[in-house]
Amino acid sequence: MEESAVRMKAYAVAFDEIRVYLSKGYYNGISSQFYIKNIENDELIPLNGDSLNNSSQDGFQEYVFHTNFTMGKVYKVVDAYGLSCYLDFSKLSMCEEFDELYFYDHNDLGNQYTKEKTTFKVWAPLATGVILKVMKWNGETELFPMKRQKKGIYFVEVCEDLELEQYVYLIRHTNSYEVTLDPYAYSSSSNGRASIIVDLEKVPCRQFDLPVLEKMTDMVIYETSVRDFSMSSTSGMKHKGKFLAFTELNTSTDSGNPTGLDYLSCLGITHLQLMPIADFATVDEKNPLELYNWGYDPLAYNVTEGSYVTDPDDGYMRITEAQRMVEALHSRGIRVVMDVVFNHMHDVNINALERTVPYYFFRRNGDGSLSNGSWCGNDLNTTALMCRKYILDMCRRWQVLYGIDGFRFDLMGIIDQETMKLVDAQGKALDPSFVVYGEGWNMPTALDEEMRTTIQNNLKTPYIGFFNDFFRDTLRGTNQMETKGYFSGDTYKTNDAMKAICNLDMFAKITQSINYVECHDNATCYDKLQISNYDESEKIRKRRSRLMMAAVILSQGVPFLHSGQEFFRTKGGLSNTYNAGDQVNALDWNRKDMEIDTTQFVQFLIHLRKNNPCFRYGSYDMIRKNVKTENINHRMIKYSLHQNEGEYKDFIIYFNASLETLQVEVEDGFQLLYHSEKGKILDHQLDVNGVCLAILVR
């Protein structure tokens, strides 16, 4: 429609109020009479007592009327000259009473399949008509008008065997029907063309009895992308860029060292965090090698990403191949955390949520414009009850159907605390070992700051973890390439580094602190040190990286590693490589062979953490009683730990980020477990070389 030619618009803005806009280029925007017409029976009712609003909107004169209408019916508004337009109900979703009137608390939305019949339910309270369109494998198309029920539900029952048939909804909000997918479907065809009907009895989730996770500090998280993990020719995996790569056994590098699942088992991690695996928009699922994207551009939350599946048009493979990946990881004792992007969607206008209930699922500013705290053009309206329920329903689906063990929330500060607490409570009710954590950055979304799930508000969400940017910036330096942290040589940050290592009183609980210096965002530590420490040798820069990894793994809180960090992953100096392609992002497994000493060093540290509870204290009280840090000569940190059980009774760890060699006194009974430069204790004295880690045990 050519907007400049529009002469009349009409909106229901409350359940007893209509606003009409007449172009000032049409009779100066003045009409002596307006009517509302029910299209179903042609009844024409005068809108009496109209009031002329003195304000105007973009060249239109505004009129306000109070009248009655029935939801689900089609109406036109007509002026004194016979000009008419359809009445648009979309803005009613922004009314305060909308949730009270239309919240639907049942769990039967989507399609419910049996061999004899399939029922379809879609929540579309603003719609004036919904048609189910089924596209059959034999080329036939069938249309089934859906009946409106209470709470804005549209329903139809089709008494046929529709297994693996494709379908869409045709939803009318004014005068035309829009095609949309089913936001509750379990499967879809490639590139979001249609939803697919599957028999859920054929895709049961296989459960493994994993040891109970007593507390979040028992975790060791390792982040990777499904695509990056296996795409390189060095990976030794056949299913490159696919879920099934994680199921392959006995894969190896060119030198014969383990890759893939076998490598993850050897490394000793407890949780694998997968970057988005729900359906995203910017990779062509039929031609996945043509475009690259990390996946933080959601197209649908209810189905898996098709480019990660061997056949994205196979309705069952969409489910089973992701299930097999999770099962394979579980069989090695590794839990799976799913990176979820419930803060925005790729495109407001084309996704099923907006097309099903316009204006409802996306947060609005006071003037009605879209909130954009995500910097992606839109924010999900998580305080809207059906939006919150949808997030909870999808979280439950990923947990129950796929076996997911936790969620990492992207831009969690966009989401309200009540929603996050409900997600956490639901997950733990199904599995006490379930974990929830995310990015607690304070984004400028149209939600009161006190309601946002931010680091600043962590006291209100004590069971949800947060990425600790103080830890990152203090130990590594900020995201600006040239800035230094303590471990890159800024010893003015020694006291702050001591604080970061113990994380005392930074959160409601120590279990909330996700400690990291590198993740998929921004440059790798190896690349950053090439800039911030350009005047140092490669050997020294690598030792600095090793110190950072040691601090991540041995500090109080929850350690988080980026895949390849343990063998100095590089992205060629680039930072935000979300669409930079496989050449930049694919994990180069041959680097693991080149840096095998560092990989084994990380394995050693993970083993040390897992076998000594003093690195995994679950309360600040335990840390205060048993952990101490000291500043040595304003350059080096002495990190002392005591425990009553484990491999050793006491630890003294020296982190020396300076270039100077510092001599320390060694107490009776302590032995040297590790020294970066293979130093020795002589006459109760130990030299801690520059850029060195020394671990003493008793």
Among this protein's residues, is 439 annotated catalytic?
yes
602 contacts: CB under 8 Å, gap ≥ 6: 267, 549, 553, 561, 566
Query: H helices then E strands: how many in the chain?
Result: 15, 33
Query: In angstroms, what CA-CA distances link 307 with 24, 177, 217, 333, 395?
Result: 51, 30, 34, 27, 21
Among this protein's residues, is 538 annotated catalytic?
no
136 contacts: CB under 8 Å, gap ≥ 6: 142, 165
Residue from 79, 279, 321, 410 carrying the catalytic annotation: 410
Distance CA 191, CA 287 (A): 10
383, with CB counted inside 10 A (0-12, 13-18, 19+), is: middle
| Count of CB atoms situated within 10 Å of the CB of 630 | 12
N-to-C CA span, the chain: 78
444 backbone dihedrals φ, ψ, rounded to 5°: -80, 55
Residue from 50, 313, 439, 490 carrying the catalytic annotation: 439
| Count of CB atoms situated within 10 Å of the CB of 336 | 23
The structure tokens listed for 694 are 């020394």
Query: In angstroms, what CA-CA distances link 138 with 131, 165, 312?
Result: 21, 10, 19
* Cα-to-chain-centroid distance, residue 235: 26
| Count of CB atoms situated within 10 Å of the CB of 651 | 24
231 backbone dihedrals φ, ψ, rounded to 5°: -70, -30
Distance CA 12, CA 570 (A): 55
The structure tokens listed for 286 are 């039929």
DSSP labels, 471-527: HHHHHT--SSTT---GGGT-GGGHHHHHHHHHTTTSSSSGGGEEE-S--SSS--HHH
Listed residue (627, 604, 486) closest to 547, CA to CA? 486
Residue positions annotated with a catalytic role:
410, 439
